[in-house]
Amino acid sequence: MKASSKYLASIRGAAGLVAAATLTVSTSTWAQPPGPAGEQFKVVTVAEGLKNPWSMAWLPNGDMLVTERGTGDYPGSLRIIRGGKLLPTPVPGVPTVRAQGQGGMQEIAVHPNFAQNHFVYLSYAKPRNGTATTCRSPAPANQPASAPPCIEGTTALMRAKLEGDKLVEAKEIFEAKAWNDAPGHFGARITFDGQGHLFMSVGDRMAGLFPRTQSGAMDPNLEGHPAQNLGSGQGKIIRLNDDGSIPQDNPFVGRAGALPRSGATATATRKASTSTRPRARCTASTSPPERSAK
């Protein structure tokens, strides 16, 4: 559907995230081409000692915030690089994450008015304990049917204040209806439109890719993909007020068949795990997020 002109003016942040979905796929599948003719690039070490660095953002004072995605028995974390040096202690107050596959501590974003409100945002792969009914059936080839139940994950968003090098007043403001135990496609990139809204990508959680069909192929039913379904949180770009509440001008608020407390998003995004600063308006079909806090 074509968005109204009023809505277009406030979804510029989505343009970078939608475009990023294509960029992510191409750069992760094929080798990078050489740089432009005549250009030379120099690799400079900014900081050492990070484990799985994933996202970075800058504070007004020049500090760099870096997320460590985490993996295996190493939990995700938030780190500070100050004056060119990595501070030895991770920032306390981060959420518990599902640090498996592509998931973990994902994006760090700084509120445009950080100097006044000290708000930062962390997106992450949120875990919940699996049960016999939540794991894939049949079990994947590398997991015996008798193995312990899987831990499921979905994309979630937390807002907190960064004060004294620690997170305070932390609150989860969004949880996607995108739970499964697949290892990737969380999305989780964040951007702001300068009008009091934020956008965040939610990946398709490998729907149609994982698990494969019985023959080992991808699911060919693209029209039935959850990214096309207004009742699913998978494969969407959500639009929220910066406190996590739903903007009343989102196009699916109150629409029958959409998720409760519908917001607006672009449909059919695959991963959207990289984003660019928005530079253009976006006209796209849209769909809702699952839940947000008032």
Task: Supply the CATH number for residue 103's domain.
Answer: 2.120.10.30
Task: Classify residue 45: in a domain, yes or no.
Answer: no
Separation CA 86–CA 74 (nearest Å):
18
CA distances for 260 relative to 14, 28, 49, 108, angstroms = 21, 34, 43, 27
Residue 231, pLDDT above cutoff 70: yes
Task: Classify residue 40: in a domain, yes or no.
Answer: no
Residue 49, pLDDT above cutoff 70: yes
Per-residue pLDDT of 199-224, as tens digits, reads 999 988 887 776 566 676 777 677 67
Is this prediction's pTM over 0.95? no
281-292 in b/e burial notation, b at 16+ Cβ within 10 A? ebebebbbbbbb
Domain of residue 150 covers 5-27+51-292
Question: Where does the pLDDT of residue 120 fall: very low under 50, low under 70, confident under 90, or very high at 90 and above?
Answer: very high
Partners of residue 78 on adjacent β-strands: 67
Give the pLDDT score at 36: 75
User: What is the average pLDDT value for the chain, to the nearest integer?
Assistant: 75
Per-residue pLDDT of 155-170, as tens digits, reads 999 999 999 999 999 9
Task: Classify residue 33: in a domain, yes or no.
Answer: no
Task: Classify residue 39: in a domain, yes or no.
Answer: no
Which residue, among 204, 200, 192, has the nearest Cα to 269 in the 3D structure?
204
Task: Classify residue 130: in a domain, yes or no.
Answer: yes
Give the pLDDT score at 189: 93
Name the amino acid, one letter, at 190.
I
Number of domains in the chain: 1
Give the pLDDT score at 34: 67
Separation CA 72–CA 70 (nearest Å):
7
Task: Classify residue 42: in a domain, yes or no.
Answer: no
Partners of residue 105 on adjacent β-strands: 124
Which residue, among 229, 261, 242, 267, has the nearest Cα to 250 in the 3D structure?
261
Cis ω on the peptide bond leading into residue 211 (within 30° of 0)? Answer: yes
Q: Do residues 113 and 121 make contact, with C-beta atoms less than 8 angstroms apart?
A: no
Task: Classify residue 37: in a domain, yes or no.
Answer: no
Give the pLDDT score at 274: 46
